């Protein structure tokens, strides 16, 4: 807070229709984001299906911190920090596996997969030491929603359900595309690094203005129906759910088509097994509607992007160093659909993807671009005059409008301003 003006620096940098370019490039801002966003609010970490069996583990992250997601012998999912409580060595050096315990290679301290210190070498040197004081660090709060595991370093604050708010419904909608109501993350991740600030990625995920231009090369040669969804005449919507969560709602366009599985560029006839299982699970009418509406395109702040057929997890490593972890969504009980989801995902995303190679180019050019200091601002005013409230009270706009960016920055400012 500036004592002379009563204006916080964040209020000066974040305006209703524009934000200051330095928010993407200032290392001090990045450090403040780690403290106020990544290490204080709910962050997506992993999916329960990645550790299906007792003692399974997989190494994940919260920002630059390495987090081991384990399923302990009782079946509980733990988020442990990958740092020995002795001298800080990383206790786990493999990306995944099955282990009851982790032994630090430095001095052979051994931790159970629920984080408890169970032993150290030459224990006579630790006479009287209470082992329970030397457990692995943990992510303070762990909650999951329909299998998606989130962690927060805050002991207090909103529950995960409160944090997800209206956006929880998009995850409900997602899992309904499985005849068994479950998503599985089983296809492995591509890890795509970009030399750009993480917020360029965050804001691009629900930017419906860019596809017609950035992706023109692939839309032009691939016979894609995606281009029309993002055209000037599209009836699709952008939506701000609050708490930084944003969506591109393509259902109005898919409902006009009125053809099951058209959202995925296919048809019931080409997926007979899936169609039959969906009808058995939900009944003909509901199954038809689910298969017309398709899966959501939603960015759960700050790092989980569900993009119809794939899932991205954004990881910030530095002010100009970010990684997108991406994998095909897999729907339990839908093998014929899952195969196509993997094939489409491999074609479109990751370092060599037909879509993401161009998106990542834009992130990096934007990052270099904002190093120029005039104009100072990123202008985010598109559709400000024509945005409206939907029936649930969420702000919506045309699919090409910058409703999502404005929503993200409104929430960002709340998190960054001192309480």
Partner 1 sequence: MLSRESSATLMSAITAFLYREARLQDEHQYEAWEKLWTDDGVYWVPANGADIDPERQMSIIYDNRSRIALRVRQLMTGKHFTQTPQSNLRRLISNIELMDEQPDDGDIAVASNSLIFESSLRDDTLWAARNEYRLRHVDGELRMAGKKVILVNNDKAIYTLSFLV
With contacts defined by CB under 8 A, name the span among 103-111, 169-177, 214-222, 389-397 that binds partner 1. Answer: 214-222
CB of 287 to partner 1, least distance (A): 27
Query: Which residues face 326 on adjacent strands?
Result: 190, 312
Rule CB under 8 A: say whether 46 interacts with partner 1. no
Give the CA angle between residues 219, 192, 175 to the nearest 5°: 70
Rule CB under 8 A: say whether 354 interacts with partner 1. yes
Helices 198-205 and 403-416: crossing angle in degrees, nearest 10, is 140
274: cis peptide before it, omega within 30°? Answer: no
Site size toward partner 1 (CB under 8 A) is 41
Closest listed residue to residue 379, CA positions, set 417, 399, 406: 406
Closer of 71 and 342 to partner 1 (Cβ): 342
Rule CB under 8 A: say whether 222 interacts with partner 1. yes
Closer of 80 and 218 to partner 1 (Cβ): 218
CB of 290 to partner 1, least distance (A): 26
Name which position in 137, 181, 347, 381 contacts partner 1 (CB under 8 A): 347
Rule CB under 8 A: say whether 340 interacts with partner 1. no
Residue 315 and residue 61 in contact, taking contact as beta carbons nearer than 8 Å: yes
Closest listed residue to residue 195, CA positions, set 64, 368, 312: 368
Question: Which positions from 170 to 209 touch partner 1 by CB under 8 A, shown as an x/- string?
Answer: -----------------xxxxxxxxx--------------
Alpha carbon 391 to its chain centroid, in Å, reads 26
Closer of 291 and 337 to partner 1 (Cβ): 337
Closer of 218 and 292 to partner 1 (Cβ): 218
Q: In which residue are the tokens 């393509």 written?
A: 250
Residue 91 and residue 103 in contact, taking contact as beta carbons nearer than 8 Å: yes
With contacts defined by CB under 8 A, name the span among 17-25, 104-112, 336-344, 374-382 that binds partner 1. Answer: 336-344
For residue 109, which phi and psi values (nearest 5 degrees)? -75, 140
Name which position in 31, 73, 95, 284 contacts partner 1 (CB under 8 A): 95
CB of 215 to partner 1, least distance (A): 9
Question: Which positions from 293 to 332 touch partner 1 by CB under 8 A, shown as an x/- string?
Answer: ------------------------------x-xxxx----
DSSP secondary structure of 54-108 = TTEEEEEEETTEEEEEEE-TTS-EEEEESS-TTT---S--SSEEE-SEEE-TTT-
d(CA 214, CA 359): 7
Which residues in this chain contact partner 1 in the complex, by CB under 8 A?
95, 187-195, 214, 216-218, 220-222, 323, 325-328, 339, 342-343, 345-347, 350-352, 354, 356-358, 360-362, 364-365, 368
């Amino acid at each position: 807070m500036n004592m002379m003006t009563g204006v916080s620096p964040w209020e000066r940098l974040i305006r209703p229709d524009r934000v200051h370019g330095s928010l993407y490039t200032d290392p001090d801002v990045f450090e403040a984001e780690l403290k106020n966003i990544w290490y204080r609010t709910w962050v997506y970490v992993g999916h329960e299906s990645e550790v299906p069996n007792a003692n399974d583990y997989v190494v994940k992250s919260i920002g630059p911190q390495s987090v081991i997601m384990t399923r302990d012998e009782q079946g509980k999912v733990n988020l442990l920090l990958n740092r020995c409580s002795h001298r800080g060595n990383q206790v786990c050096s493999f990306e995944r596996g099955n282990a009851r315990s982790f032994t630090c290679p430095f001095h052979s301290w051994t931790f159970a997969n629920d984080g408890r210190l169970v032993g150290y070498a030459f224990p006579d040197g630790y006479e009287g030491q209470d082992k329970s004081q030397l457990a692995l660090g943990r992510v303070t709060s762990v909650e999951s929603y329909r299998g998606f595991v989130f962690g927060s370093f805050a002991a207090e604050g909103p529950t995960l359900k409160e944090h997800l708010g209206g956006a929880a419904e998009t995850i409900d909608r997602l899992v309904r595309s499985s005849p068994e109501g479950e998503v599985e993350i089983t296809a492995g991740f591509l890890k795509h690094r970009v030399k750009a600030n993480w917020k360029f990625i965050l804001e691009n995920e629900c930017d419906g203005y860019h596809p017609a231009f950035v992706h023109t090369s692939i839309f032009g040669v691939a016979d894609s129906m995606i281009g029309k969804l993002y055209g000037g005449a599209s009836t699709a919507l952008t939506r701000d759910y609050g708490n930084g969560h944003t969506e591109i709602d393509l259902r109005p366009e898919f409902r006009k088509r009125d053809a099951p599985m058209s959202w995925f560029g296919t048809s019931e006839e080409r997926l007979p097994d899936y169609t039959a299982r969906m009808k058995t699970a939900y009944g003909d009418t509901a199954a038809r509607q689910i298969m017309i509406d398709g899966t959501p395109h939603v960015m759960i702040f700050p790092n989980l992007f569900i993009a119809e057929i794939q899932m991205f997890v954004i990881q910030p490593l530095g002010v100009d160093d970010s990684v997108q972890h991406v994998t095909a969504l897999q729907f339990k009980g839908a093998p014929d659909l899952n195969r196509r989801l993997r094939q489409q995902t491999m074609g479109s995303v990751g370092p060599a993807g037909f879509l993401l190679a161009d998106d990542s180019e834009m992130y990096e050019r934007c990052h270099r671009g904002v190093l120029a200091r005039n104009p100072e601002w990123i202008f985010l005013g598109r559709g400000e005059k024509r945005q409206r409230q939907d029936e649930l009270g969420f702000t919506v706009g045309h699919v090409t409008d910058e409703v999502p960016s404005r929503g993200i920055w409104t929430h960002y400012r709340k998190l960054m301003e001192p309480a």
